[in-house]
Amino acid sequence: MLTECPTPVILLKEGTDTSQGVPQLISNINACQVIAEAVRTTLGPRGMDKLMVDGRGKATISNDGATILKLLDVVHPAAKTLVDIARSQDAEVGDGTTSVTLLAAEFLKQLKPYVEEGLHPQTIIRAFRSATHLAVKKIREISVTVKKDDKKEQRELLVKCAATAMNSKLIAGQKEFFSEMVVEAVMMLDELLPLKMIGIKKVQGGALEESHLVAGVAFKKTFSYAGFEMQPKRYDQPKIALLNVELELKAEKDNAEVRVKSVEACGGSIQTSVGSMTDDVLGRCEVFEEVQVGGERYNFFKGCPRSHTCTIILRGGAEQFMEETERSLHDAIMIVRRAIKNDSIVAGGGAIEMELSKYLRDYSRTIPGKQQLLIGAYAKALEIIPRQLCDNAGFDATNILNKLRAKHAQGGMWYGVDVNNEDIADNYLACVWEPSIVRINALTAASEAACLILSVDETIKNPRSSVEGPPGGGRGRGRGRPHAH
């Protein structure tokens, strides 16, 4: 007689933790909400900053979504997706990192009821992709193009864009000063606007307003030699030898950086010996100077012929404060570069999100079934941006959002939150502008992240490997971290 004895198929080793299906999806969605909570209050000009202290006791104050998430050291595999999109938003457009995280989490939050209901994730994903497609098309349609031929007008626009980016930062009080400086710096670059040709050097001490821009390469004097005090501190039209020879042991890393930057800026090539010093290996610049900046001696190479380069010398008090200033300037520099490259802008302060939300809501009414509800959910999720801006400013969000919905229904397409007067305002006229690309990138990335998280219905965590030696491949699909003993 044959007995039915089902032999279990053993695929994974004992102790492997798998969780799957709807509960898994819901738990991933919840994890993402926690991530959003961490950055929620930093959004917008009235956003708060976070102070983070790492294992070694190093403190960082930041308002930047990507920076905060990076420092949080998230291990949850699904929640990590949000950290990744914040980082890629930072790398690609340099701004909108908090927005992208909030949007992704809000998308997930709005579609959670549908997942719980048992709606197939692929149905949801399809709806979200088409909504994103429509939204991006709409942004392209309504964004305002800036004329490039009028240099003065372009410059004014860039300064406004930079100032908007700084609104939410610690340096908002000095935004006029810094937005001019940032635009000046970017204008010094060549056509391709290479970011690395803008150096930022922090010199502790002095007032923030003593920060200045140097047209050329600047670095801390990294070497000295016997009798250097007697040498002139300024040379006109010097020739520059770039030596890969250690003149002094310390600061080799700094020296290396100096060489690379100088080669790109001044021309010439790096020599490993002083034997064959011909004219063609020497770099050139207009002025070389040694100057005192705060407590430091600085070397300036000004007027470099080969490449357009500049250095921002930042002054200020606390180290964390200067680091945050540097990050804020970086954001603003990225915005200005983007605005030069893509001369198309939309109004911020939730205006563009409200307009897209209205557009998608109207559109959803024209289609039947589940897709209607899902696109409606997408439209609702977009409202998180103006809502959070209100919350962070301490406004009555429901009231402001009602006003905004009404205004947008009447065709006031650039109306957004007015953070100064607890009201709504035409943010296009108020010059609260953002490059369209920042919003397009944020929307696309947030929706893709939401879809990615939805399409994962199983996480397999490997147990701690008991085998000695390096784990030999085949670690399965799980992203479980091997623990150190």
The CB-of-83 to ligand ADP minimum distance in angstroms stands at: 14
Taking alpha carbons only, the member of 313, 83, 112, 298 closest to residue 198 is 313
What would the DSSP string read from start to end of 310-329? EEEEEEESSHHHHHHHHHHH
The CB-of-175 to ligand ADP minimum distance in angstroms stands at: 10
Task: Return the sign of the alpha-carbon dihedral for residues 172, 174, 176, 180.
Answer: negative
- Please state, as a whole number, how many other Cβ atoms lie within 10 Å of the Cβ of residue 126: 15
Candidates 95-103, 150-158, 232-240, 302-310; binding stretch for ligand ADP (CB under 6 A): 95-103
Q: CA-CA distance, 256 to 436, in Å (whole number)?
A: 38
How many residues contact ligand ADP, by CB under 6 A?
A: 23
Is 121 or 435 the residue whose CB approaches Mg ion more closely? 435
Is 311 or 441 the residue whose CB approaches Mg ion more closely? 441
Is 146 or 335 the residue whose CB approaches Mg ion more closely? 335
Q: What's the Cα-to-Cα distance from 88 to each of 136, 137, 139, 151, 341, rounded to whole Å?
A: 18, 22, 21, 31, 19
Q: Which of 49, 50, 68, 95 binds ligand ADP (CB under 6 A)?
A: 95
Q: If contact means CB under 5 to 8 A according to the sort of partner, which of Mg ion, ligand ADP, none does residue 44 touch?
A: ligand ADP
Q: If contact means CB under 5 to 8 A according to the sort of partner, which of Mg ion, ligand ADP, none does residue 349 touch?
A: ligand ADP
Using the structure block, give the residue that is written with the tokens 């034997």: 275
Binding to ligand ADP by residue 283, rule CB under 6 A? no
Asked if residue 306 lies in contact with residue 267, where contact means CB atoms within 8 angstroms, the answer is: yes
Task: Return the sign of the alpha-carbon dihedral for residues 35, 40, 45, 48.
Answer: negative
> Using CB under 6 A, which residues numbered 4 to 43 contact ligand ADP?
42-43
Q: Which of 28, 67, 81, 98 binds ligand ADP (CB under 6 A)?
A: 98
Binding to Mg ion by residue 355, rule CB under 5 A? no
Binding to ligand ADP by residue 310, rule CB under 6 A? no
Using the structure block, give the residue that is written with the tokens 């509800």: 373
Q: Inter-axis angle of helices 384-393 and 21-40, to 10 degrees? A: 40
Binding to Mg ion by residue 95, rule CB under 5 A? yes
The CB-of-438 to Mg ion minimum distance in angstroms stands at: 8
Q: What does residue 213 show for φ and ψ, rounded to 5 degrees?
A: -110, 130
Any bridge partners for residue 311, and if so which?
A: 199, 214
Q: Which of 216, 268, 349, 376 binds ligand ADP (CB under 6 A)?
A: 349
Q: Which of 31, 36, 38, 44 binds ligand ADP (CB under 6 A)?
A: 44
Is 94 or 316 the residue whose CB approaches Mg ion more closely? 94
State how beta strands 310-316 and 198-204 pair: parallel
Binding to ligand ADP by residue 222, rule CB under 6 A? no
Using the structure block, give the residue that is written with the tokens 């909504």: 131
Query: Which residue number places its CB atom closest to Mg ion?
Result: 95
The CB-of-35 to ligand ADP minimum distance in angstroms stands at: 14
Asked if residue 22 lies in contact with residue 113, where contact means CB atoms within 8 angstroms, the answer is: no
The CB-of-168 to Mg ion minimum distance in angstroms stands at: 6
Residues that bind ligand ADP (CB under 6 A): 42-45, 47, 63, 65, 95-99, 164, 167-168, 348-349, 385, 389, 417, 419, 432, 434
